[in-house]
Amino acid sequence: MRLLSRLFLFGLGLFLAAGECRADIFATGFFSGTIQRYNETTFASSAFATIAGNPGLSGIAYNSNNNRFYVSALNHGGVYMLDGATGSTVGFAGLGIGPGGIAVGSNGNVYVTDFTSNNVRVYDTTMTNLLNTIVVPVPGVTSGVGFAQNGDVIIATPGTGVFQYDGNAVTPFNAQPFAAAQVTSSADGIFIGHGIGQSNDVFRFDSAGNFLNTLTITSAMMPGAPAGSSSGFSPSGVGIDADGNVIVAVLGRSNPGDAGGEFGAMFKFDVDGNLLDTIAVGTMAFSGLALANPVPEPGTTAFLLTAGFGCLLFRRRKIEK
């Protein structure tokens, strides 16, 4: 028993140490209620979890402190908590608001935007204790939230620009009205998606809020996409992979009620906006994504050992190139 425990801990350590080498992509289907899991290398996918009752999944964030996913459900007025290993629902926090974008801070606190007010609410990991309310100083609603590399909170709004919260005050970051969805950052900049049907672009800014460039979804990248009821493809979800590239999840121009139905996609860009890979096209309408290496259940020691050694070997080969 002691040997098995040591093997498990050793394998877990290898797995976690190598976790940065290649995370899976977890994308939320707004209309379907499904969280789809993608292997970034092979593009193989499978359903990780499904939430019934037309929840309107708007965002997803992973908390490595407790191995849980937090999934905002606009139509259900709250946030679902999912087990990182199994995808099973372990809790639901009814917030009585219109939760949109969601992000998890380094300390595990959960930040939730609100499609019914100009607030971002901050909760503890249990989602039962409201720790702070960040108020954006303009009328309207909040729709996207994430963090700059210095830890400041970046808040996106549909139509009134982007704001920055340094722990004391909320100040304007950039006036771009279409930077209105998921927020992510790396050393190469801050990336903000668009999810309100009026743009084909993900917007890249520097740390001071200066616009740098866009990552654009074109019609050529979306063959067979219905005309739909929106003017833009709405690249709503954004995340940074282990190589510093940007994964973009697309809502598309159509919804299930339009001719042709929903038609989403997922792509990989470099930070300058060059398309590197098409991960999937003709999918459900994706609203958000999270890149994560959830910890498997304790019984999977062999998997941990294999994954750990495989990732370490992958990293060694990358260094030697």
List, for residues 160-174, the tens digit of each pLDDT value.
999 999 999 999 999
The torsion angles phi and psi of 311, rounded to 5 degrees, stand at -70, -40
Q: Tell which residue, 141, 133, 67, 146, has the closest CA to residue 102.
A: 146
Same domain, 1 and 44: no
For residue 68, the 8-state DSSP code is E
Average pLDDT of the chain is 90
CATH number at residue 180: 2.130.10.10
Same domain, 11 and 39: no
Q: Give the structural domain span for 88.
A: 23-292
Same domain, 230 and 320: no
Asked whether residue 110 carries a pLDDT value surpassing 70, the answer given is yes
Structure tokens at 240: 């940074």
pLDDT of residue 21: 61
Tens digits of per-residue pLDDT, 204-232? 999 999 999 999 999 999 999 999 999 99
Same domain, 219 and 85: yes
Same domain, 143 and 5: no
- Tokens 């707004």 locate to 30
Tens digits of per-residue pLDDT, 117-160? 999 999 999 999 999 999 999 999 999 999 999 999 999 999 99
What whole-number distance in Å separates Cα of residue 269 and Cα of residue 271?
Answer: 6
pLDDT of residue 319: 31
Structural domain includes residue 297: no
What whole-number distance in Å separates Cα of residue 287 and Cα of residue 251?
Answer: 6
pLDDT of residue 299: 59
pLDDT of residue 314: 38
Q: What is the arithmetic mean of pLDDT over 20-34?
A: 91
Least confident of 6-10, 123-127, 194-198: 6-10
Asked whether residue 309 carries a pLDDT value surpassing 60, the answer given is no
For the chain, what is the domain count? 2
pLDDT of residue 22: 82
Structural domain includes residue 298: no
pLDDT of residue 291: 98
Least confident of 68-72, 74-78, 163-167, 303-307: 303-307
Same domain, 7 and 110: no
pLDDT of residue 225: 96
Q: What is the arithmetic mean of pLDDT over 26-39?
A: 98
113 alpha carbon, distance to own chain's centre: 14
What whole-number distance in Å separates Cα of residue 256 and Cα of residue 100?
Answer: 20
What whole-number distance in Å separates Cα of residue 277 and Cα of residue 275?
Answer: 6
Same domain, 139 and 180: yes
Same domain, 13 and 27: no
Confidence of residue 25 (pLDDT cuts 50, 70, 90): very high
Q: What is the arithmetic mean of pLDDT over 269-298?
A: 95
Q: Which residues pair with 63 in a beta bridge?
A: 68
User: Quick check: helix, strand or coil at residue 284?
Assistant: coil
What whole-number distance in Å separates Cα of residue 56 and Cα of residue 28?
Answer: 9
Q: What is the arithmetic mean of pLDDT over 54-68?
A: 97
pLDDT of residue 19: 43
Q: Tell which residue, 93, 61, 68, 89, has the closest CA to residue 78.
A: 93
Structural domain includes residue 151: yes
pLDDT of residue 4: 46
Structural domain includes residue 299: no
Q: What is the arithmetic mean of pLDDT over 263-277?
A: 98
CB neighbour list of residue 56: distance below 8 Å, 6 or more residues apart: 30, 31, 73, 74, 75, 76
Q: Give the C-alpha distances (Å, rounded to integers) separating 52 from 29, 93, 150, 263.
A: 12, 16, 38, 20
Same domain, 190 and 318: no
Same domain, 114 and 171: yes
pTM for the structure as a whole? 0.89
Other C-beta atoms within 10 Å of 260: how many? 14
Same domain, 111 and 138: yes
Same domain, 317 and 171: no
